[in-house]
Every structure is written in C-alpha cells, then in structure tokens.
C-alpha cells in the first residue's frame, strides 16, 4: 500500500498503521525484537483488544520491526472488547528477573550503554550508574519481589554522591521502566516508605515530560524515542467505562508494564503494556493534556536530537492529526478555547476549573504551534492546517484580550456595566463587578499582571494558576509585554508564590465554605495543600524555561537555590503544604520522579540557556499580523453582523 493511500485509509477510521519493515528501526543500539506481529487474543472470562506480541527465543535477538494492520476500526457502531494490552514474549521462565548472566537483557544493557555516546556529551558512566550486571540483577530482583516487573529499583538513596544533582540523576535512572529490555519511561514515584502504591508505579505521560526533557538535554535520546512510539501505539484504543468511549485520538493518562503468564505456556511469561485512559483514575476523568504534552515532547525530541525521522513517520503523522481533529472538532461551544471538565489536567481533582481553564488553553496553543511545524504536506493536511491557523489567531486574541488582568484592567472590570446587549459591548461576558474578591484588590501589584484561571459567562476565576501562566510565556500565547509582566508579578509576589519551596500551583487557596462547596470537602485538597494552593517542586522547570525565554535567568537561579537547600534533605517530595511551603505534604509521596526531573531540567537550562529553545515557540509573521489587525485601532472594536471574507471567532 502506498504512503498516500495509507494516510487516507487511517484517517477514514482505521487505527494508525505500521507500514514497513523498518518503521521502528533506530540509529541507536536499542533492541526491537524479531517476528513482531499483531493479532487478536480472546480468553474465556476476559476481554482484550488486539495485542502487540513480540516473539523471541530465550536471548532476545535484534530483528526487523514488522507489524500487520489491526483489524476493524476504532469508531462507529462496532464495539471493541477491552482490556488493551501490548504484549511481548521476551521473558522466559528461567530468566524471569529480566536479567541473566548470558546474552539476556542485563548484558545487552551494559554493552549498549557503552555505545550510546550520541553527541559526545555523555559516556558509559553517565548512562550506567550501576556498573555491573550483578547489581542490575539484584535491583531487578528487589523490584520483582515487590510486584513491579519492569520498573526501576525500589531502594532508598543512601548518599555517596558529590552533589544534589548527582543524587537526582541516580534517582531518576533508578525510576526507569523497561519493556522488552528497552527503556520506555519513568514511574511516577519510587517511594519505599509508602505501602499504598495506587497508580504511582505507572508511567504517566504528563509526569514523564520533565524526565524526557532531562534525558534529551543529557543527550540520552532513546528512552524518549521509545516513549513516543509506544504511547503512540496505545492511542485511540477505546476504553470501556459504563459503556462509553472517548473520541478517537485520545492519549492514555498512563500505562504500566506487567509480566503475565504466556498464553498456553505455563513455563514462560510475557510483558504487556496496560494503559489507563481514565477508566481506573480517581474521578474517572479522561486526560485532555496527555496528547498535547505528547506533541510538545515530540517536537522537543526532533529539535534536540536532530532526528526528524520520527516525526516524519506515517504513523506519527497520523497520531498528530488524530489529536488535532479531536481538539478542533466543532461543538456547541462559542469560544475558541478548549472546553474541558474538572480534573482533566495536572489539577486532576475537583477544584472548580471546569470550563476553559488556562492550563489547557496554554498547552493547546503550544501543541497547535508545534504540530503546525511538524506536519508534512500531503493528503488531508491542507484543511487541517487551515483550521489550525484560524484557531491559533482566534485563541491568541481571546486569551490575551479577555484573560489578561493587571491594575488597569482590574479597575476597568470594577466599573463594568452589566446586561449589555450589542455587538460592541464592553462587558461581553456579563461579568459582575462584585466578583472581584477583596484578596485580589490587596494582592495585585502596581507593576505586573497575569492571565486569570478561567473565563465563562458571568464568571471570572481570578486565581493565579502557575502552570498556565508559565506555559503561556513559553508558548508565546502571552505577548512579550504580558510575559514580562507575569515574571514581574512572580518577582513582586515571591513570598507568596515561592516562599520556602517553589512553586505554588495556584494562589490563593479555597477556604471555608467556598472550599466545602467547590471541592466537595475534599480531604486531600484542604487549604494550602495538594492542588489547593500547595507547592510543587516540579513547576521549577517550567518557571526556568519561561525565564530563559524572556532572558531573565537570575529569577530562575534564585528559585533553584531556594529548592536546593532542602529538597534533597526532604527526600524529593511530591508537594509541600502550608502557605509558606514549610511542611512536606501530608499525603505527599517521597522520591517523586517529576520533582527530581524538574530540578534537573532547571539546572541543565541554567547551565545552557539556549537549550530552552527546544520547548519555546515563537509566532510567525502571519499570525502576528493577523492579531495586530484585530486590535490595531480599538481593542474594544465594534463587531457588526457583516462578515469579511476571512473571519475569526473571538
């Protein structure tokens, strides 16, 4: 089947298709196993989707990666059985630990670690912190004894390194997850003090982003490449949650590597990738941000490694288009922003962010720019790019104009008239001035501003949400002046947003009756804890990227120095509690991987500020001109019923 035919076939309703024998070939020495094929597996008493199986002998051999097309479409009236599993027959019973002393995975890892000098910036010691096969085997046995096949070690860091940064690298590598001998991600947390694992032993797309960026900046590209391709294989495989299924193109929130008995053979085992699309998550909410982060990481991989072959693959191009079509689908919403439910992003519990939360809009904008840069011309791309460009202009205008707040805009809202009906209304969303909270009047500095957390009819969420504001700077969703103003506000409100551990996820906390009503009396989201204005060290890397883009590295360096004083002593917590971040979170996991990775990314970017360009995006001239035309004469311009040839929804 030709390439163009394949694209048309996939876009018409089939799953991403793996078309050639070298689809998964790599310039690295990572192993992809021979005789790969896809087939349907059904067992009495259980339901499964078609599974990816990789057959091998006891010593996994290097071979071509050849996969047949999955049977059946992913949408329509056809119901698809579920559990989704990617399977690999590579673990024999006699070497179930994953490492043997012959030619198994342990020897492979040692040999190939020595060869992975990709850009001269690392050596075998950087890649292989634990230098012997015997030690690898012991660590895997510890992991097996705790039921975590394929995850990293489960040991507490005991010191013996020269710096906090060295300790962080050892912990990050200890959290690596392996599938068929190849690294495919990092687990969410490796806390040996916690008996209640929940889903912290899984690989989360959202959580892996700082880990992936750290590995890219270190020159270790293969784990990121494997992560991108394996999560792509999980895309759009329908979940079952009370007989409902998500739109095609959804990326899973997380996946887990499991070792299970081989079908029909009690003497051998196999590894499977088991994804979670939200059907097992607390609250059962599908992750809107997973696909957006996946696109951002894909672009970063290409820019950092100079390997554009991954993003040019037919299946990867199809995956990008499926995510875009899901996000750009028409609906009843009148805004250019993305309408989502509460809990669909980093703030994954009920926190009153349903509607059009800033975090999703900033990631959406960034993903659109990244996708436009990576999409290759071809059948079906022209209409998609046209819709993408129109959405970019409308989205940027909407956020910059209606989400922005500073002292001037706050005073304007204070004097709003309500019940305005006309095309040229100033108070377009019928915002009531009484919504301005007393805390905001006192908190807003004279110099600086920020993008509010949410905007809906008759409602403005004035809380400061860190990730959305920082990524608006990184992506260019905020203008240059607005970006500097956001950093000015962070500097002015340092005692509130940074305090004794960066960085406050939002400000201020919901308290009293407001907390009871909005969170439903959530015992984990108590005021100044967790997502209710807790402090999250992982946000340090996003702050650093924003500071590097705006050429203000001193701000990031100051925040890193604050974190460095205690984060290692506190054993790398997930989050901190209290208004000043003085206590480790009451339910915070220790040795949280994205806290570790966020610190490392911040340190790497401080050492090489130019590296931040793999994440930042700039508007092109056409987009800037289109936006300028919309606000050139009067930002409160009249919008009559007559439409020009090219229109934008604002």
The total of structural domains in the chain comes to: 1
pLDDT of 630 reads 64
pLDDT band at 627 (very low <50, low <70, confident <90, very high): low
Q: Side-chain half-sphere of 149: how many Cα atoms within 13 Å?
A: 21
Residue 390 falls within a domain, yes or no? yes
Indicate the pairing of strand 583-584 with strand 86-92.
unpaired
Half-sphere exposure of 603 (CA within 13 A, CB side): 20
Beta bridge partners of 88: 271
Least confident of 44-53, 172-181, 490-499: 44-53
Res. 46: pLDDT tops 60: no
Please report whether residue 540 resides in a domain.
yes
Does residue 293 form part of some domain?
A: yes
Q: Does residue 545 carry a pLDDT above 90?
A: yes
- Give the DSSP H/E element, type plus range, for residue 463: strand 459-465
Residue 187 lies in a domain: yes
- Would 110 be classed as within a structural domain? no
Which helix (H) or strand (E) covers residue 396, if one does? helix 381-398
pLDDT at 564 over 50: yes
DSSP of 143-187: HHHTT-TTS----------SSHHHHHHHHHHHTEEEETTEEEEE-
More confidently predicted of 650 and 281:
281
Contacts of 189 (CB under 8 A, 6+ apart): 175, 200, 201, 574, 589, 590, 591, 592, 593
pTM of the predicted model as reported, rounded to 2 decimal places: 0.77
Query: What confidence tier does 394 reach under pLDDT thresholds 50, 70, 90?
Result: very high
Residue 561, token pair as written in the block: 């120095």
- Reported as a pLDDT band with limits 50, 70 and 90, residue 138 is very low
For residues 352 and 506, give the distance between their C-alpha atoms in angstroms, rounded to a whole number: 12
d(CA 628, CA 648) in angstroms, rounded, equals 13
Assign residue 309 a region (left: φ > 0; alpha: ψ between -120 and 50; beta: otherwise): alpha
In this prediction, residue 136 has a pLDDT band, given cuts at 50, 70 and 90, of: very low
pLDDT in tens, 413-458: 999 999 989 888 999 999 999 999 999 999 999 999 999 999 999 9
Give 75-114 pLDDT, tens digit per residue.
333 333 333 444 454 443 333 333 333 333 333 333 443 4
What six digits make up the tokens of 380? 């079906």
- CATH, residue 561: 1.50.10.10
Q: What is the mean pLDDT of the chain?
A: 78
64: nearest Cα among 109, 118, 111, 19? 19
Q: Which residues is 584 bridged to in the sheet?
A: 576
> Phi/psi zone of residue 15: left (φ > 0), alpha (ψ -120 to 50 degrees), beta?
beta
SS3 percent helix, strand, coil of the chain, rounded to 5, is 40, 15, 45
Whole-angstrom distance, CA of residue 392 vs CA of residue 394? 6
Q: Is the pLDDT of residue 563 over 90?
A: yes
**Domain-embedded: residue 442:** yes
Q: Is residue 73 part of a domain?
A: no
pLDDT recorded at residue 29: 36
Give pLDDT, residue 262: 85
329-372 pLDDT, tens digit per residue, is 988 888 999 999 999 999 999 999 999 999 999 999 999 999 99
Cβ neighbours around 606 below 10 Å, total: 17
Q: What angle do CA 71, 269, 15 make, to 5 degrees?
A: 20
Taking Cα atoms as reference points, which of 44, 268, 83, 165 lies closest to residue 600?
165
Q: What sign does the CA torsion over 474, 477, 478, 480 have?
A: positive
Confidence of residue 27 (pLDDT cuts 50, 70, 90): very low
Partners of residue 274 on adjacent β-strands: 256
Domain range for residue 513?
164-632
The reply to whether 37 falls in a domain is: no
Token pair of 434 as six digits: 């009484």
In the 3-class helix/strand/coil scheme, how is 479-512 assigned residue by residue? CHHHHHHHHHHHHHCHHHHCCCCCCECEECCCCH
Determine how many CB atoms are found less than 10 A away from the CB of residue 446: 8
Query: What is the average pLDDT across 374-385?
Result: 87
The runs of H, that is alpha helices, within 175-244 are: 205-218, 222-234
Q: What is the pLDDT at residue 423?
A: 87
- DSSP reduced 3-state for 446: coil
Closest CA to 225 of 175, 185, 272, 178: 185
If pLDDT is split at 50, 70 and 90, which confidence band does 377 have? Answer: confident
Q: Which helix (H) or strand (E) holds 439?
A: helix 438-443
């Amino acid at each position: 089947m030709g390439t163009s035919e394949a694209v048309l076939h996939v876009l018409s309703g089939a799953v991403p298709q793996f078309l050639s024998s070298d689809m998964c070939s790599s310039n690295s020495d990572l192993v992809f196993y021979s005789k790969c094929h896809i087939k349907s597996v059904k067992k009495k008493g259980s339901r499964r989707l078609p599974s990816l199986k990789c057959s091998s002998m006891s010593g996994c051999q290097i071979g071509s990666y050849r996969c047949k097309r999955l049977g059946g479409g992913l949408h329509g009236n056809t119901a698809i059985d579920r559990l989704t599993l990617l399977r690999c027959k590579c673990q024999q019973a006699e070497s179930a630990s994953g490492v043997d002393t012959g030619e198994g995975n342990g020897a492979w890892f040692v040999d190939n670690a020595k060869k992975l000098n990709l850009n001269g910036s690392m050596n075998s010691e950087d890649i292989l912190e634990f230098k012997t096969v015997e030690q690898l085997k012991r660590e895997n046995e510890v992991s097996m004894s705790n039921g975590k096949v394929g995850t990293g070690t489960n040991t507490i860091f005991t010191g013996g390194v020269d710096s906090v940064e060295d300790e962080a690298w050892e912990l990050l590598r200890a959290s690596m997850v392996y599938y068929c001998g190849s690294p495919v991600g990092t687990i969410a947390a490796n806390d040996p003090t916690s008996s209640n694992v929940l889903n912290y032993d899984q690989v989360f797309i959202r959580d892996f982003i700082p880990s992936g960026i750290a590995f890219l900046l270190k020159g270790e590209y293969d784990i990121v490449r494997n992560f991108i391709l394996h999560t792509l294989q999980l895309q759009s495989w329908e979940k079952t949650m009370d007989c409902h299924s998500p739109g095609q193109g959804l990326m899973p929130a997380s996946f887990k590597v499991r070792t299970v008995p081989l079908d029909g053979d009690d003497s051998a085992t196999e590894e499977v990738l088991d994804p979670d699309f939200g059907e097992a998550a607390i609250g059962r909410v599908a992750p809107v941000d997973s696909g957006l982060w996946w696109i951002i990481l894909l672009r970063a991989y290409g820019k950092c490694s100079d390997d554009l072959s991954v993003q040019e693959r037919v299946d990867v191009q199809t995956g990008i288009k499926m995510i875009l079509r899901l996000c750009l689908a028409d609906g009843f919403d009148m805004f250019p922003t993305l309408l989502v439910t509460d809990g669909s992003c980093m703030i994954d519990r009920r926190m009153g962010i349903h509607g059009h939360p800033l975090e999703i809009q900033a990631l959406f904008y960034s993903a659109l720019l990244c996708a436009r840069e990576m999409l290759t011309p071809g059948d079906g791309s022209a209409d998609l790019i046209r819709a993408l460009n129109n959405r970019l202009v409308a989205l940027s205008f909407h956020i910059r104009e209606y989400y922005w707040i500073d002292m001037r805009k706050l005073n304007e809202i204070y004097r709003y008239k309500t019940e305005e009906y006309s095309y040229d209304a100033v108070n377009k969303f019928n915002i009531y001035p009484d919504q301005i909270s007393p805390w905001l009047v006192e908190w807003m500095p004279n110099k600086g501003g920020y993008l509010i957390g949410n905007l809906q009819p008759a409602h403005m969420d004035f809380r400061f949400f860190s990730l959305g504001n920082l990524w608006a700077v990184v992506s260019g969703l905020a203008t240059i002046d607005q970006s500097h103003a956001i950093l000015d506000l962070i500097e002015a409100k340092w005692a509130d947003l940074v305090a004794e551990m960066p960085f406050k996820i939002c400000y201020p906390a919901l308290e009293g009756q407001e907390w009871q009503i909005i969170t439903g009396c959530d015992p984990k989201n108590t005021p100044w804890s967790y997502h209710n204005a807790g402090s999250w060290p992982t946000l340090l890397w996003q702050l650093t990227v924003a500071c590097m883009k705006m050429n203000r590295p001193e701000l990031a360096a100051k925040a890193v120095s604050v974190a460095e004083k205690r984060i290692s002593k506190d054993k790398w917590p997930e989050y901190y509690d209290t208004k000043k971040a003085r206590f480790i979170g009451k339910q915070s996991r220790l040795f949280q991987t994205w806290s570790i990775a966020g610190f490392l990314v911040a340190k790497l970017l401080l050492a090489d500020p130019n590296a931040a360009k793999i994440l930042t995006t700039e508007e092109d001239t056409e987009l800037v001109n289109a936006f300028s035309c919309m606000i050139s004469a009067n930002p409160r311009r009249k919008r009559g019923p007559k439409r020009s040839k090219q229109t934008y929804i604002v």
